Chain A
């Protein structure tokens, strides 16, 4: 994972660091897939944006297909995918 180092303030401890720490402890599953949706609006009080709402449906479907069909990264010996 890029920039994984618990070198900065504790506020900088994010997903990369959590995954790398787990790997260092020998507890990272052989397959780790990260699904992420980038936020689009951070306005105070604003509802879920249409862009993100649409992405939720698409990502949920992608996960469903990958889990059900086992067609995803499990096929790879060691995988680390970022969707």
Chain B
């Protein structure tokens, strides 16, 4: 029996800290374990006993990259419990805010975290020395996303203007105009980003994932929709707990999620795109086709192209919302607390984000449950490693280690959300 051991002391360019261990025995991958040792962050417990109105601001603190997603799932779940439906311009502004976050988050991952893998750089700084114009374009594009979140949310990170029922303050039409000018530039830059990413070399790796995402009647999903899968699941967000389960595994402080009676599934850009291609704008569809993507994408290494298509869509959709915007009469719908359980699922940049709250009659939060995308993807990331690494065992340790890291980065894991630094230990048993 031969045994090969490779250790990576730091899995770089991910959000948060964790470790990776791959064991290879007799030329085959025996186990691949994503270890997340970041201490649990107890956000659900922090929410207990707090007023419902505090949930958007508390949950926004879970992530510096996708705070809007946490706010949106929180407000939708609480509104679900209180029987409140947000419509019209307030609903549109929520979509606009989400567009800003997707632009911010995806662009960060594409340019700063993922592209160096394809272009052979240690990181974004090294890449910037050779490709300053490209990195500047990325930063400028991210800035457009920041501008959206800042205008609607009050600041770029951890926005403070979201409340149950709507917003504390809504923008005037004239305030949105400078944003539109910035977004028109961003839309062109996003199209260039799709074309740039499409030119990378991708390993030929396909996976038969069970994709899970929201699906809406006529929109590419941000805030609303039914939870559907590529294998026929079609449920309301309130049924999530009936169909999905979270289990604890020793190697991770983030719970693993699985389909009850099923197996691992995948959330995020690949899932969203593959289940909702027909809901993308014509511009985004056309760019995807020109980039060589089909109506589904099962090669996780191409996720960088899919993310770029979603950035393009977000710029396009943001412009549509701004063009059609009419100032609402009031910044928020009336909210009357009542006892009950509320469910909310929205599409964070990394995938489905589910919240459930049990609320008391006065609106106090009695219980909270939050299932972030990265916890849902842990098992699929491990499965990717088991399936793909076997073909690359001839690579020297350093290259193999890098390929393992890239395989994890395909899914843009946000380890901090899920519970930070990833260590890779590759055991070849020899």
Partner of B125, one of A10, A11, A20: A20
- Of the listed stretches A1-9, A31-39, A74-82, chain B binds A1-9
Q: A25 to B136, alpha carbons, bound, how many Å?
A: 7
Partner of B132, one of A4, A6, A9, A24: A24
Find chain A residues with CB under 8 A from B108 CB: 10
Q: A26 to B12, alpha carbons, bound, how many Å?
A: 25
Q: How many A-B residue pairs have CB under 8 A?
A: 62
- Of the listed stretches B13-21, B176-184, B248-256, B327-335, chain A binds B13-21
Are A4 and B13 in contact (CB-based, < 8 A)? no
Find chain B residues with CB under 8 A from A25 CB: 128, 132, 135-136
A-B CB proximity, top 7 nearest:
A6-B123, A24-B128, A24-B129, A7-B12, A6-B124, A25-B132, A9-B421
Q: Size class of A's contact patch?
A: 10 to 19
Please tell me if B422 contacts chain A, counting CB pairs below 8 Å.
yes
Are A11 and B420 in contact (CB-based, < 8 A)? yes
Q: A59 to B308, alpha carbons, bound, how many Å?
A: 45
Partner of A8, one of B12, B126, B129, B136: B12
CB of A38, distance to nearest CB on chain B (Å): 23
Q: Which residue of B lies closest to A11 (CB)?
A: B420
Please tell me if B122 contacts chain A, counting CB pairs below 8 Å.
yes
Q: A12 to B416, alpha carbons, bound, how many Å?
A: 13
**11 further interface pairs, Cβ-Cβ under 8 Å (given A8-B421, A25-B132):** A5-B126, A7-B13, A8-B10, A9-B10, A9-B13, A9-B415, A10-B13, A11-B15, A21-B135, A24-B129, A24-B135
Partner of A6, one of B16, B17, B125, B136: B125
Find chain B residues with CB under 8 A from A5 CB: 122-123, 125-126
Are B124 and A21 in contact (CB-based, < 8 A)? yes
Render B105-128 as a binary contact track against A, CB cut-off 8 A, 1 for contact: 000100011000000001111101
